[in-house]
Amino acid sequence: MQIDIDLTDDRWVAVGLEDICERAALAVLDRLEIDAEDCEMSVLGCDDARIRELNADFREKDKATNVLSWPADERAAEAEGAMPDTPEPDVFGSIELGDIAISYDTCAREAKEAGKPIQDHTMHLMVHGVLHLLGFDHINDPDAELMEGLETEILCKMGLPDPYSEY
């Protein structure tokens, strides 16, 4: 697994974002039976100011958010609530997943409000982001149920509590 990580906010170092990214990506790929050795992605660990710019530029929402993702390929399933197709390696043998940006400020605030350790919340957001790169979404109820179920299953297997229940 190749993960290119750009930390533009040094506060991510203390959280252990690099380790969290690797563990989250490997856990998602393992659950979906995708060979991690073939996969590549990049992560930007930034602050609210930068993620607000990205959110405005790419989603036309002029506000900060916790995590954004840009899949390298369109992988969404045709039917609501269905599993997206498993990505196949390109002619060079690699699977480019895409890019994720995560904001320290929003992540830390949400973790504090929920009474969760920031590392646990960051792990959830990274699992969430990697699933987006693989074609999962939460636009409609069947898709949200599938995605949230996978998030919960993956995180519980990692020893973390259900992110959608009370901590």
Q: What is the CATH number of the domain that holds 42?
A: 3.40.390.30
Phi-psi sector, 79: left (phi>0), alpha (psi -120 to 50), beta:
beta
Angle between helices 118-133 and 104-114 (to 10 degrees): 120
Q: Is residue 124 part of a domain?
A: yes
Say how far apart CA 50 and CA 30 lie, in whole Å. Answer: 31
Model pLDDT, residue 26: 99
Q: Average of pLDDT values for 7-34?
A: 98
Q: Is residue 43 part of a domain?
A: yes
Whether 166 has a pLDDT exceeding 90, the answer reads: no
Q: Is residue 79 part of a domain?
A: yes
Say how far apart CA 162 and CA 155 lie, in whole Å. Answer: 7
What's the token pair of residue 89? Answer: 């390696």
Say how far apart CA 14 and CA 81 lie, in whole Å. Answer: 37
What total of structural domains would you count in the chain? 1
Supply the pTM of this predicted model.
Answer: 0.96
Say how far apart CA 72 and CA 41 lie, in whole Å. Answer: 9
Q: Average of pLDDT values for 7-35?
A: 98
Nearby residues of 116 by Cβ (< 8 Å), 6 or more positions away = 167
- Per residue in 89-105, is it b (16+ CB within 10 Å) or e — as a string? eeeeeebbbbbbbbbbb
Model pLDDT, residue 2: 97
Model pLDDT, residue 165: 87
CB 56 within 8 A of CB 65: no
Q: What would the pLDDT profile of 28-63 be if each residue is shown by its tens digit?
A: 999 999 999 999 999 999 999 999 999 999 999 999
Model pLDDT, residue 31: 98
Whether 81 has a pLDDT exceeding 90, the answer reads: yes
Q: Is residue 102 part of a domain?
A: yes
Q: Is residue 164 part of a domain?
A: no
Q: What would the pLDDT profile of 93-148 be if each residue is shown by its tens digit?
A: 999 999 999 999 999 999 999 999 999 999 999 999 999 999 999 999 999 999 99
Model pLDDT, residue 167: 67
Q: Is residue 165 part of a domain?
A: no
* Residue in this structure with the two tokens 């994720």, named with its chain if needed: 100
Residue set of the binding site for Zn(2+): 128, 132, 138
Q: Average of pLDDT values for 77-81?
A: 93
Quick one: CA dihedral 62, 123, 41, 32, positive or negative? Answer: negative
Residue span of the structural domain in which 150 resides: 2-157
Residue set of the binding site: 128, 132, 138
